[in-house]
Amino acid sequence: MAEYSTLGSVAVLQVNNPPVNSFSHHVRQALVDGLERAQRDPAVRSIVIMGKGRTFPAGADIREFGSGAAVKMPNLLMVLQAVDTCQKPVVSAIHGTALGGGFELALASHYRLAVPSARMGLPEVHLGILPGAGGTQRLPRVVGVKTAIQMITSGQHIKAQQALSLGIVDKIVQGDLLKEAVSFARSVEGRPVEDRRISQKTVPEADKVDEVVEAARKTILRKARGAIAPMTCVQAIQASVLPFEAGMAREAELMAFLMTSWQAPAQQYAFFSEREVRRWSHPRDKRINFKTAKPRVVKSVGVVGAGTMGMGITINLLQAGLKVVMLEVNKKQLDKAVNTIKKTLSQKSASQKMSQLTTAMDYSQLRDVDIVIEAVFENMRLKKEVFRKLDAVTKPQTILASNTSGLNIDEIAAVTKRPDKVVGTHFFAPANVMRLLENIYGRQTSPETVATAMQLGVTIGKVGVLVGNCPGFVGNRMLGSYTAEAVFLLEEGAEPQDVDRAIEEFGFPMGPFRMGDLSGTDIGWKGRIAKGLTTEHGPPPATPALYRRGNRYCPLPDMLCMKGRLGQKTGAGWYRYEPGSRTALPDPVVLQMIQDYRQEHGFKKRTISSQEIVERCLYPLINEGFHILDEGIAARSLDIDVIYLFGYGWPRHTGGPMYYAERVIGLEKLLCSLETYSARYPDHAHLQPSPLLRNMVAKGGSLAALGTDSKL
């Protein structure tokens, strides 16, 4: 609702709809009623609108979309029209976050005040829509088309001070917001409101709009990669040079187009799923769930191994204000890590944050930490050795976590006397940037240990997802079938750039081969050597070239590594790189290597369409997701989607692999395609449809109903 009160001549409308004061139908109704009442009351000479509790309204109530409630009268457009055309000055007083429709309400008001900590913006693009309550028409009238495009297509929040410099906010007020807003409202009473209406202004430098739009179009099309909302936002902004009513009509038309697209519900699902993963639970052990399991307090963390991951994890922990003891066996590496950490921490707080860091080469220095995160080489023998040491030196209550990318957590836990306190905390590179934290419980991990790992994720600003233990866990296990199929496509005729292009057009920031070059082609190679699938010099003796343990195997990635082509770090991988450049250039050497290989093994080169590339790479990945759900490794399909959205660059506008499978491809079609491909390639095990997928197609039922994500 919106609470109505008066303070002398000022009517105050306080939106009260926790948690974020979104514009649910009852709020809209109360605002319209409140405005009418204030208009009617001769004693009222000005109006203040603000949010109660933590924030100014954060926009439309997203849960109303698709339910019919968003269009129930009065809709948000009508509320804002009432504000804009009000004959008495309306002042929006902003604290917290004025987002989407909330910010649009502020723009429809005649004056805007903000506290210094307030932030504002139009993040609708992340929900697959546009600011459809006049945001695309009013914002350019204040800041110009260029800045409006930048703000709206990025969805970025700006701070109060920046809003002031852009002319969005009239004044930043210190102290009590209500008191300040009422005093400001009194000061403008009796002044004409006509020239305060943004809707009546014209867009600055309107004659340059087409030029600005054309420049923006190129960048956006390159960045948006299949998402339709960003460019549609630009089209709406372009219409802001028209008379206001005509621009609003264009905005409404484009909003309707987006609202009825398949991408908007996918992005809204992604928004809620990101939040839903906080309500984690073990699919079978009732004690392990977010409601009852209590975390231990973590103030200090040990990080073992100061390589790529240990360094990133340490930066992340320091940024969150935690104390860190970083241990490394190699002194040179330790010094290098300290230097990198210092450089990465922001100048302003570097020295304070660095004072929280202790470096160590002796394990006994870890004795007092609350949790240790191990990030040494991916080698089971070494991990066991490290965990034995950690078990011996740390306090009995210290939690021992491993950042392994996929080794068995139970096997690691078994070498300690505290298997209940052992957990997987799988960070993604670069660990201080990537938002995902895949937390893995083992057979004996206690509820308290799981809760502590999940809470640590919250403390350090990660999106934490809880999963079970299996080789590769959820993310890397699914990725295995994707990368395997990508190299099979090379055998048949595709070139690395064909595969990458198709996957990037689908929406990934990078295809599998460019990605491989970035992370280092030797990561997978070392893993395959450790598993005995290959050796540094080729296949193990007496091994058929194209099979391993009865499964189809493509040795091309091993051959690449044997040539010393380890990716960007060696200047050559699947592509070649000019010195100092990260641009992937197709390399005739690699293409010849692939061609020779095809000839040697009797593969006939054929042209492979982008559609086949996408299906052959993504369908087995999704199929593995079904196996994972079937085994209870992921509790819900949304957990898998969030892992892929935040850890693997899966395009957000498709909702994530499982959402995409069910709502965009359709399970029946997915099954049918997998059946076709597995009939064509009977020895590609990952193309065999999962029993769960078959079952769901046969019996019906939704992915959401398998888990607890019934709210979505």
Ligand X SMILES: CC(C)(COP(=O)(O)OP(=O)(O)OC[C@H]1O[C@@H](n2cnc3c(N)ncnc32)[C@H](O)[C@@H]1OP(=O)(O)O)[C@@H](O)C(=O)NCCC(=O)NCCSC(=O)C[C@@H](O)CCCCCCCCCCCCC(=O)O
Alpha helices, DSSP H, located in 520-659: 522-530, 556-562, 588-601, 610-630, 637-647, 657-659
272 makes contact, choosing from ligand X, ligand NAD, none, with CB < 5 to 8 Å by partner type, with: ligand X
* Residue 58 interacts with, from ligand NAD, ligand X, none (CB under 5-8 Å by kind): ligand X
| Pairwise CA distance, residues 682 & 698, whole Å | 22
Provide CB contacts within 8 A for 700, sequence distance 6+.
none
Q: How far, in Å, CA of 131 to CA of 135, rounded?
A: 5
Contact 619, 673 (CB under 8 A): yes
**Could you please report the per-residue DSSP string of 169-232?**
-SEE--S-HHHHHHHHHHHHTTS-SGGG-GGGS--TTGGGHHHHHHHHHHHHHHHHTT-SHHHH
Question: Which of 3, 64, 124, 214 is flagged as catalytic?
Answer: 124
Question: Between 66 and 532, whose beta carbon lies closer to ligand X?
Answer: 66
Q: How far is the CB of 132 from ligand X (least distance, A)?
A: 4
The active-site residue, picked from 3, 64, 104, 374, is 104
The three-class DSSP label of residue 251 is helix
> Closest separation between CB of residue 127 and ligand NAD, Å?
30
CA-CA distance, 223 to 233, in Å (whole number)?
14
Select the binding partner of residue 247 from ligand NAD, ligand X, none (C-beta < 5 to 8 A, by kind).
none
Both tokens of 32, joined, read 């319209």
**Sign of the C-alpha dihedral computed for residues 625, 630, 633 and 638 taken in this order:** positive
User: What's the min distance (Å) between Cβ of 376 and ligand NAD?
Assistant: 4
For the bound state, the minimum distance from the C-beta of residue 276 to ligand NAD, rounded and expressed in Å, comes to 24
Binds 60, which of ligand X, ligand NAD, none (CB < 5 to 8 A, cut-off by type)?
A: ligand X
On whether the CB atoms of residues 639 and 465 are closer than 8 A, the answer is: yes
Kindly state the smallest distance separating residue 158's Cβ from ligand NAD, in Å: 33
Active site residue 492: no
SS3 content of the chain, % helix, strand, coil (to 5): 50, 15, 35
Residue 438 contact among ligand X, ligand NAD, none, beta carbon within 5 to 8 Å by kind:
none
Residue 448 annotated in active site: no
- Give which of ligand NAD, ligand X, none residue 378 binds (C-beta under 5 to 8 Å, depending on kind): ligand NAD
| Radius of gyration in angstroms for the set of CA atoms belonging to the chain, rounded to a whole number | 28
Minimum distance from CB of 10 to ligand X (Å)? 27
What string of H, E and C letters represents the secondary structure of 625-692? Answer: HHHHHHCCCCCCHHHHHHHHHHHCCCCHHHCCHHHHHHHHHCHHHHHHHHHHHHHHCCCCHHHCCCHH
Helix (H, G, I), strand (E, B) or coil at 257: helix
Calpha distance 541→548 (Å, rounded)? 12
Q: Which is nearer to ligand X, 131 or 651 (CB)?
A: 131
* Least distance in angstroms from the C-beta of 623 to ligand NAD: 24
**Residue 246 or 585 having the CB closest to ligand X:** 246
Choosing among ligand X, ligand NAD, none, which partner's interface includes residue 375 (Cβ < 5 to 8 Å by kind)? ligand NAD
2 binds, among ligand X, ligand NAD, none (CB under 5 to 8 A by kind): none
* Cα–Cα distance measured from residue 615 to residue 461, given in angstroms and rounded to the nearest whole number: 34
Q: Which is nearer to ligand NAD, 429 or 510 (CB)?
A: 429
Burial class (CB in 10 A: 0-12, 13-18, 19+), 31: buried
Residue 664 CB, nearest approach to ligand X (Å): 19
Q: What DSSP line would sit under 343-372, residue for residue?
A: HHS-TTTHHHHHTTEEEESSGGGGTT-SEE
Report yes or no: 106 and 142 within 8 Å, Cβ to Cβ.
no
In the complex, least distance from residue 100 CB atom to ligand NAD, rounded to whole angstroms: 35
Instruction: Give the pair of three-digit tokens for residue 337.
Output: 């890590």
Return the number of the residue (31 or 422) whose C-beta is nearest ligand X. 31
Tell me which of ligand NAD, ligand X, none is bound by residue 584, counting a contact when its beta carbon lies within the kind-specific cut-off of 5 to 8 angstroms. none
| 230's tokens | 């960003």
Contact, 42 vs 6, CB < 8 A?
Answer: no
- Name the residue whose CB lies closest to ligand X: 100
Nearer to ligand NAD, 236 or 304 (CB): 304
252 vs 672 by CB, closer to ligand X:
252
Tell how strand 547-548 and strand 551-552 pair up.
antiparallel
* Residue 68 CB, nearest approach to ligand NAD (Å): 45
- Count of CB atoms situated within 10 Å of the CB of 335: 13
Is 52:19 a contact under the CB 8 Å cutoff? no
| Residue with Cβ nearer ligand X (157 or 197) | 157
Looking at the Cβ atoms of 164 and 360, the one nearer to ligand NAD is 360
* Binding-site ranges for ligand NAD (CB under 6 A): 304-310, 327-330, 333, 375-378, 382, 386, 403-405, 427-429, 519
Euclidean distance between CA atoms 477 and 454, whole angstroms: 21
Nearest by Cα to 500 from 440, 594, 574, 395:
574
Q: Smaller CB distance to ligand X: residue 531 or 711?
A: 711
Do 660 and 621 contact (CB within 8 A), yes or no? no
Which positions touch ligand X (CB under 6 A)?
A: 19-20, 22, 58-63, 65-66, 68, 70-71, 75-77, 97, 99-101, 104, 123-124, 127, 131-133, 135, 259, 272, 275
20 binds, among ligand X, ligand NAD, none (CB under 5 to 8 A by kind): ligand X
Closer Cβ to ligand X, 119 or 576, answer by number = 119
Of these partners, ligand X, ligand NAD, none, which one is at the site of residue 333 (CB under 5 to 8 Å by kind)?
A: ligand NAD
Contact partner, 491, from ligand X, ligand NAD, none, Cβ < 5-8 Å per class: none
Contacts by residues 350-358 (CB-CB < 8 Å, ≥ 24 positions apart): 353/318, 353/319, 353/321, 354/318, 356/318, 356/321, 356/322, 356/323, 356/324, 357/314, 357/318, 357/323, 357/324, 357/326, 358/323, 358/324, 358/325, 358/326
Q: How far is the CB of 38 from ligand X (least distance, A)?
A: 23
Classify residue 514 by burial, with Cβ atoms within 10 Å: 0-12, 13-18, 19+. Answer: buried
Give me the least distance between CB of 617 and ligand X, in Å please.
Answer: 31
Which of 279/331 has CB closer to ligand NAD? 331
Distances (CA, A) of 548 to 290, 528, 617, 624: 42, 11, 20, 20
Paired residues of 438 in beta bridges = 426, 465
Task: Indicate which residues carry an active-site annotation.
Answer: 104, 124
